[in-house]
Amino acid sequence: MATDPIHLSDEVREALEAGRPVLALESTIFTHGLPRPHNRELALATESQVRTLGVTPATIGVVRGRPTVGLSVDEIDELSNDDDAVKASLRDLPIVMGTGRSAGTTVAATGYLASRAGITVFSTGGLGGVHHGAATSFDESADLPTLAGLPLIVVSAGVKSILDIGLTLERLETLGLAVVGYRTHRYPGFYVSDSGFALDYAVDSAEEVARIARARDALGIRSTLLVANPVPEDQQLDPAVHDAVLARAWAATVERGISGHDTTPFLLDFIMTETEGESMRANLAAYANNVAVGASIAAALGSAA
């Protein structure tokens, strides 16, 4: 009998076996999203936040070729300081596993590993989506088709505002991914609480999300329920500043000949520099808010079991 290639920490395994709530967390936010030592501090502070809310955190990554659900403090330290750690989406998992490399896992890879481990709820910052110009480039994040085949609940602050949000919402509909706003009928835009697009459905509580997920499961639907949770208005990036900086960022890509895979990191770095770090502050505020909501949903699912 083949050995399961995914390693579960004792803490996560025991919580799942006992039916206690568990919340999945990605690792690219600290392997590729923040400078040292802030990346390690964020990872550990997030786990502490989840535990304080009575939920077991399951930070997910790949450590020297081993997909791991529930990274230890030592493993978080290792990934946080590994200059050679790659950013792994779902397609990359067998490559990093087969070559013995370490990796931070994206939404697609984290969601897949969480689902394989039996974890239902996953909190992240912002989803990937459809890029501008996708009609000719076909540039669309693997997050969308991957989540379309996984029965998860994913809490995010929408998709990154550098993406084509209108087309992303159209693709979510086509792929059968249900979206509900958490106490809002406006789709959030990552750094800002309102992207300018409306949502058909809103929920008022974690318990309501849990009921919707249970109805989905009862129907045999195997796609992710997306919970769009806006960054609090008093912690968002000023919308006027956001729009102006984003316009300058796009103009800069043309002036400097930036294209393809280089576009997203260039835009994010440009926005952070131009806002003097305010975009990162808003990003982290959104993430902490998503973690809190995700933990409450995980607890609500457990209490309804």
Q: 89: Cβ–Cβ under 8 A, 6 or more apart, which residues?
A: 106, 108, 109, 142
Burial 43-68 (b: 16+ CB within 10 A, else e): bbebbebbeebebbbbbbbbbeeebb
**Longest pairwise C-alpha distance within the chain:** 59
The verdict on whether 47 is a catalytic residue reads: no
Four-residue CA torsion sign, 56, 51, 21, 39 = negative
Give the chain's radius of gyration (CA, Å): 18
Pick from 118, 112, 122, 7: nearest CA to 57: 122
Helix H or strand E segment including 95: helix 93-98
Question: Is residue 162 packed enough to be buried (19+ CB in 10 Å), middle (13-18) or exposed (0-12)?
Answer: buried
Choosing from 26, 47, 75, 140, the catalytic residue is 26
Choosing from 47, 75, 140, 160, the catalytic residue is 160
The verdict on whether 160 is a catalytic residue reads: yes
Helix H or strand E segment including 77: helix 73-80
Question: Is residue 290 packed enough to be buried (19+ CB in 10 Å), middle (13-18) or exposed (0-12)?
Answer: buried
Q: Hey, which residues are catalytic here?
A: 26, 160
